Amino acid sequence: MSNTSILERRFPGRRAQLKRDILLQALQCFNTHGLEATTIDMIKARCDTSVGAIYHHFGNKDGLVAALFLAALEDQQQLMQQYLEQADSLREGIAALVYSYVDWVEAQPDWARFQYQAHSSVSKGPHGAELARRNAERGKQVAQWLEQREQGAALRDWPAELRASLIIGQSENYCRSWLSGRAGTPPSAYRELLAEAAWRSVSG
């Protein structure tokens, strides 16, 4: 899948073309050179625009990193919601959370690599409050879905802040290994096993 698809959904229309171009080149620079080594001048050279245009749209490099990260997070959340809406039981819901995570990473490997390297920077930077707010919204969304299911009592009484790690943690660990080349089998090949492991982690 093209790296532009997320940007086209997040910033649609002809007037946003320059913004999409800047973000696409920034994504490639960050993944190639790393967050610290990438400079605004490097991004400018790749997208044939001015430093002033980049600052106008994003403020600074922190703004670029945050814009990319939050666009990826939003796309990931939309896929999660689509999968949850198709789940009828609690167990299917847990599987939907795993499937959406694994399938998104495999479909968007460049974005996933960026997310992994940028999370700490965004969470500790000037846009950390916005990230925390969006994560809280996503957590509330999942909690509400779980609470609406009659089988909700089947879940162990784990602390709410631990639940996401129990459900997604093993999938995240494998996806990181696959993206880094330490594991050769695509995550989708193990989505059923990972979903089963998640269910065993949280079911009573």
pLDDT in tens, 95-110: 999 999 999 999 999 9
Element housing 192 (H / E): helix 191-202
Percent of the chain with pLDDT over 90: 73
Q: What is the pLDDT of residue 153?
A: 57
Q: What is the pLDDT of residue 157?
A: 75
pTM for this structure? Answer: 0.91
3-state secondary structure of 155: strand
Element housing 139 (H / E): helix 128-147
Q: What is the pLDDT of residue 35?
A: 95
Across the chain, mean pLDDT equals 91
Q: What is the pLDDT of residue 161?
A: 78
CATH of domain 60-202: 1.10.357.10
Q: Provide the residue ranges of all domains of the chain, joining segments of one domain with +.
A: 60-202
pLDDT in tens, 38-96: 999 999 999 888 899 999 999 999 999 999 999 999 999 999 999 999 998 889 999 99
Question: Hey, what long-range contacts does 80-88 have (CB within 8 A, 24 or more apart)?
Answer: 80/104, 80/138, 80/142, 81/141, 84/142, 84/145
Any residues with CB less than 8 A from the CB of 137 and at least 6 apart, and which? none
Q: How confident is the model at residue 36 (pLDDT cuts 50, 70, 90)?
A: very high
Q: What is the pLDDT of residue 187?
A: 97
Q: What is the pLDDT of residue 151?
A: 55
